[in-house]
Amino acid sequence: MGSESREAAPGDNPGAVPPSRSEDTWTIGRLLSWTTDFLRKRGSESPRLDAEVMLASVLAWERVQLYTHYEDVVGEPERTRFRELVRRRADGAPVAYLVGRKEFYSLRFDVSPAVLIPRPESEFVIVELVEALKDQEEPRVVDVGTGSGCLAVAGAHQLSKARVTAIDISPEALEVARKNAERHKLADRIEFLQGDLLAPLADAPPFDAIISNPPYIPTADLATLEPGVRDHEPALALDGGPDGLDVVRRLIRQAAPLLKPGGHLILEIGTAQEGPVRDLLSDARTWDLRPTTRDLQSHPRVVHATRAP
């Protein structure tokens, strides 16, 4: 969303609201309607959802509570805080960073600009992981480039006896991930290590699964990303090099010796990368390829291979 001439936000003076006293009353319903229209004009792809998430955050409510309180009047202190969030959203800041959280796999995750915002497409990594390991008693899993910890935490939450090692090169990201593990009472089953890809595990015994949502955006494509992503999310978590596969290549090479025979490598990919990534895993002496998982838009989303015996 751009930052051209700006309309007054709810509660601004002068001119933001009609002058009569009755119309000066800003109910929840009126705030949501006004803000939805305002954000739609500024280019938001989900203006109603954005408005609801921000207002619920300001009121310290669950979003569903808004639906039964449409006629409640919002006080000036809350409107002031909401107005500031709306302005920042109109200037392109992602809602998840504004409210400091994002839902993933039905779990709440705290987020900051140090980490990539969890996305629904990444949930297919967890679907694959759970299906692959559901019959194993105490599987050992590695999450490479953990960021917010969404994959590590959701995996440990779904696999109640799994032990997970979460790795990230960013100490700031690891701090966010640790807090998310603590929030969901999973810190006792998740180990956090700082380092580049699988380097911290060079001498570790092999694992049952390695999962990752690696950087996979080609460098030249970064400038074309939606401004909320391009200007606010960490480039380290997005930039995959000239063809988007620099990190994927390194990760595949490092993963093979750290997986048990039959162990799983599960990678999120970009929509145009199915063929190239499967080609990287085409050595039958090392990998057995499984069918690619597609997301809800039928885009290739997760490549899954197992370590050959």
- For the chain, the domains span 22-99, 102-307
Class of domain 22-99: mainly alpha
**Does 102-307 match 22-99 at the fold level?**
no
For the chain, where are the alpha helices, taking DSSP H only?
Answer: 28-41, 47-59, 76-90, 95-99, 123-133, 150-158, 171-183, 227-230, 246-255, 274-280
**CATH code of the region 102-307:** 3.40.50.150
Nearest residue to 82 via CA among 64, 107, 61: 61
Place of tokens 């993933």: 104
Residue-level pLDDT, tens digit, the chain, 309 residues: 433 333 455 544 433 432 334 446 899 999 999 999 999 999 888 999 999 999 999 999 999 999 999 999 999 999 999 999 999 999 999 999 999 999 999 999 999 999 999 999 999 999 999 999 999 999 999 999 999 999 999 999 999 999 999 999 999 999 999 999 999 999 999 999 999 999 999 889 999 999 999 999 999 999 999 888 999 999 999 999 999 999 999 999 999 999 999 999 999 999 999 999 999 999 989 999 999 999 999 999 999 999 998
> CB neighbours of 273 closer than 8 A, spacing ≥ 6?
216, 244, 245, 248, 300
CA 220 to mean position of chain CA atoms: 22
pTM of the model: 0.88
Nearest residue to 181 via CA among 109, 239, 244: 109
Strand pairing class (259-268; 207-212): parallel
What's the confidence (pLDDT) of residue 10?
A: 55
Coil, helix or strand at residue 305: strand
Tell me if 118 sits within 8 A of 142, measured CB to CB: no
What the block records as the tokens of 4 is: 């051209």
